[in-house]
Amino acid sequence: MAGAGLYRFVIADHELMSRTPVYIVCSPRPQVGKTLLSRLLVEFLLLQRHRAQAFDINVKEPSLIDFLPDVTESAEIMDTQDKMRLMDRLIVNDGLGKVIDLGFHAYDEFFQMVEQIGYMKEADRRGVDPIVMYMADSDRGSGATFAKLKRAFADYAIIPVDNEFVLHGEPPASYAGLKSLRIRALPAFLRTYVERRSFSFTRFLRQDNDPSSELHQWIRSIYLKIREIELNLIDYRL
């Protein structure tokens, strides 16, 4: 019976499913939970749309491809050919939800590329929804980088992610008043459990016999929030 509750995640109206979400999970700093959120997004898309494609732009382990190798490929943006190869995949409105786990080392290069080629505007014209998930950090430089990103792409969804494990409480003033995605900190034993490379969030929901368990509620709340973002994306562009 636990799996029956998953049904609400796969219900979507025609207008939503006619567009292609591209989630860009990023931060200029390491160790802020990017790969964890990328895993959640990929598994949500697989549940909702039955297929997804992820791109891993990282140089350190563990990375997304280690957790979801069947739907993830390594990508590079070191030269023009690499960049164009990736952007050709991200500009297509094919209904295949996409997730980019963007390593901190490639942050500046990636967004310079996005701005230079006018990706955001062209993607929107083609029915593709770029959604930037910016992992918030208490570091002052991180807040300044976020503000710069918001100015550069003012008409698009730039969503701060409040990872309680990183921020340890109230998010910094840089993110105050903005619609965000909050990820509650898990107890150490559960965090270790979900960090196993064989662990699947959706499989856990389907197999768990106790919907009131902490991990069940944690996964479910994040899936619901992702669904809310997709259904009300215009609100996150303000």
DSSP codes, 38-67? HHHHHHHHHHHHS-EEEEEE-SSSS-HHHH
Which of the 8 DSSP states describes residue 7?
A: G
pLDDT, tens digit, 9 for 90 and up, residues 30-47: 999 999 999 999 999 999
Residue 207's φ and ψ, nearest 5 degrees, are: -100, -15
Find which of 6-20, 47-61, 186-200 is predicted with most confidence, using mean pLDDT: 186-200
Q: Tell me, what's the pLDDT at 7?
A: 57
Average pLDDT over residues 208-235: 94
Structure tokens at 131: 């959604």
Condensed to tens digits (0 to 9), the pLDDT of residues 79-136 reads 999 999 999 999 999 999 999 999 999 999 999 999 999 999 999 999 999 999 999 9
Q: Does an H or E element contain 181, and which? A: strand 181-183
Query: pTM for the full model?
Result: 0.93
Q: DSSP secondary-structure letter at 232?
A: T
Over range 136-158, report the average pLDDT: 91
- The residues pairing with 183 across neighbouring beta strands, listed in sequence order, are 163
pLDDT of residue 173: 76
Every domain of the chain and the residues it spans: 19-237
**What is the fold of 19-237?**
Rossmann fold (3.40.50)
Q: Does an H or E element contain 74, and which? A: strand 72-74
